[in-house]
Each structure stands twice: as C-alpha cells, then as structure tokens.
Amino acid sequence: MINAMSGYQPYTSANSVGNVLPGGLSLCSIMVLVLMERYGIYQDLIRSAYDDMQARNNLLKDMNKALSVLRTNRPTDEKAAKDYGTFVDSQGTTQHVFEWMREKGIPIEAKTKTTHEKLNEHFAKRGARPPFPSPDTQTGGKRGVQSQFDAAINNLKASIDGANSEGEMAMIHLQGLLGKHNDVAALMSNLLSRDQKIKEMIIGNFR
C-alpha cells in the first residue's frame, strides 16, 4: 500500500476543479478512504493480538500457581499417595490441579485405584455407604504417588516454557502490527496535509 503510493503527486490530487473522478470524489479523497479502511483493519488485528496475549498471561499465572501447589503437595515418601491439591485461578475460581491439567491437555496421571477403592465408588454411585475407609472417598481418585507428581511437574514446566516462547513470538508480531498501523496513520496524515496546502495555494492563485 505504502510503496504503491510512493510516486503520488499531491498537485494532481488536490485540484477540486480538474481532478474529481466520475464517482464525485477526488483522487485524494479515495486514497484517504482506502487508508482509513486499512487503518481500521490494523486496529482490529492489534486488538485481537492484545486479547490473545492477555489470555496467555492469565494461563501462565494459572500454570505457575498449579506448579507451586504440585511442589508443595509432592509426597516425600515414594510409595505414599497424596491429593494433587487445588488453587484459585485468574478468574477467581477454585480449580483442582488434576482436573485443570487434564482440561488444558497437560498430561497428569492418577494413582491406580485398589479393589477396595473401586468397590467404594460402586457403592457410592448407588447411594450406599462405602464399605471400606479410603482417602479417595474424599478426593475422587485425584491422587498421585511421588513419581506421578514428578511427571506432572515436568509436564507443566514444559507447558510453561512453550507458553513463554509463544508469548515472545506474539510480542514480535504485535510490534510489527503497531509499526504498520503507525505507518498508515503517518501516510494518511501527510496526504491530508499536502492536499490542504495545495488547496490553499490554488485559492491563493485566484486572488
């Protein structure tokens, strides 16, 4: 767009007497309208890019909260199983780490249920009291042993690194859009300024 106009001659666009096109608009007016449309397109792209960055920033905050909870709840005994825990996300909603990671597509495993735990679930689904005491009657089976916590932590850290890399690329993309947006604005301003000066010169010649 900008290169195509590099040869633009202002004196051919501003003369309201001889340069009005069949549509009733001067060449300068048409060029300004085209630039205004392009300006609006860049504004929409910038707004969309900003929304994406904000969503990614919120996701990163949630990821770091989940990572902190995993590190805090990680069992010290390699055979012991513990609940993965909960955190409050960027929207103020309490999230269970296990369910949240599954929802976000981040791999996480739960401790394999014993026969007693499976029987407890069977009775609970039918409204009966579970016959065997088990921590899973409270946590819904969202527990893990030390090795599963370690795997979940590594998977979450990898996702955080990936989101950070995407954020850096998105920032470069946004800077490029802002540059093009400013170029269009400057070209439009220069075009209007030149057109006004030439109109004043033409009017001056008639005096």
- The mean pLDDT value for 28-35 works out to 80
pLDDT digits (tens, 9 = 90+) for 4-22: 434 434 434 434 433 555 5
**Residue 52 predicted with pLDDT over 80:** yes
Q: 0.75 cut: is pTM over it?
A: no
3 state SS of 69: helix
pLDDT digits (tens, 9 = 90+) for 177-203: 999 999 888 888 888 777 666 666 666
Closest CA to 32 of 177, 197, 195: 195
More confident residue, 204 or 40: 40
- The mean pLDDT value for 62-76 works out to 96
**Burial of residue 35, with CB atoms counted within 10 A of its CB: 0-12 exposed, 13-18 middle, 19 or more buried:** buried
pLDDT interval class at 31 (50, 70, 90): confident
pLDDT digits (tens, 9 = 90+) for 82-101: 999 999 999 999 999 999 99
Look at the chain and count its residues.
207
pLDDT interval class at 2 (50, 70, 90): very low
Closest CA to 135 of 65, 73, 63, 70: 73
Sign, CA dihedral 183-185-188-193, equals: negative
- The mean pLDDT value for 35-45 works out to 90
pLDDT of residue 101: 95
pLDDT of residue 174: 92
Host H or E run for residue 145: strand 143-145
Residue type, 111: K
Sign, CA dihedral 61-62-63-68, equals: positive
Question: Could you tell me the two tokens for 176?
Answer: 């490029």
Residue type, 70: L
pLDDT digits (tens, 9 = 90+) for 102-150: 999 999 988 765 555 566 666 667 777 666 555 443 444 588 999 999 9
pLDDT of residue 34: 86
